[in-house]
Amino acid sequence: MGVSVGCTFAANRALTLGKRSRRGKCDALIGIAAPCEGSGRAGGKRGTTRRMANIVQFEDVGLCYPGSDRETLSDVRFTLASGGFYFLTGPSGAGKTSLLKLLYLAQRPTSGVIRIFGEDAGALARARLPGFRRRIGVVFQDFRLVPHLSAFDNIALPLRLAGVPESDVIEPVREMLAWVGLSQRIDATPQTLSGGEQQRIAIARAVIGRPEILVADEPTGNVDPDMAARLLHLFESLNRLGTTVVVATHDFHLLGRVQNAHMMRIEGGKLFDPTGALRNPPARPQ
């Protein structure tokens, strides 16, 4: 499954259609990006976030889980430029997933400051968190598809939760299915899909609402090398549309496949910046 230029344009159109109508109250659902009032893109107009030089800043962030006597993350400091592509690497147990949870606001730090979209995430009122989370798409390592829903309905879920009329759901979802190369599996349920197919459905669901940040936790960990390359191509296509992409992986074969991608490495709960781009990000993606 290659992603052609035509599919990329179809995806762009699908993502635009997916944010066309927003009615009713949005339900909170961590890990699924959905268009929502107050997201900064009302009326189909992009908000100011995409013009920010830096979309994420971690300042001396630490994380210690309740009941533990040691920090999972310690003195983590980095900056992500808007529209950049980043790989997060490190051995198993190094803290990659914990850092991603902080990034998509599923976890609060025990020390330090996290700024996302120009605001201190730790100071956000609880009522504002769902709106911020909807601006971040998440692709989980274990997919987290709804078992009894078809591929179409899993992808459509964020739009339906956002109150988008059904007439405005069908076309963007079908075009997202084409973008990930699974138009022929539109009615398939997760248990009948291969690991690679489930991952592509999870990606489509995560991006249907055109998130400003996409976070993927070991998205290639359960697929073969050929499928891993194909999934990475999908992330590149989305990044070219302006989304900041963060991919956690231990697959070093992927690191050289994305031109101008930056790498951050985590070991023992501490973050290393091999390229220097995290502490001194470029003014705009190269």
Task: List pLDDT tens digits, range 24-55.
Answer: 333 333 333 433 333 333 333 333 344 558 99
Contact 180, 215 (CB under 8 A): no
The structure tokens listed for 220 are 């290639």
Residue 63 near residue 102, CB atoms below 8 Å: yes
**Residue linked to tokens 């781009």:** 277
Tell me, rounded to whole angstroms, the distance of Cα 154 from its chain centroid.
16
- In whole angstroms, what is the distance from residue 225 CA to residue 214 CA? 22
What average pLDDT does this structure show over 163-190?
94
pTM: 0.78
Residue 3 has pLDDT above 50, yes or no: no
3-state secondary structure of 41: coil
Which pLDDT score is estimated for 12?
Answer: 54
pLDDT at residue 179 is higher than 80: yes
pLDDT at residue 42, rounded to an integer: 31
Per-residue confidence (pLDDT) for residue 130, from 0 to 100: 85
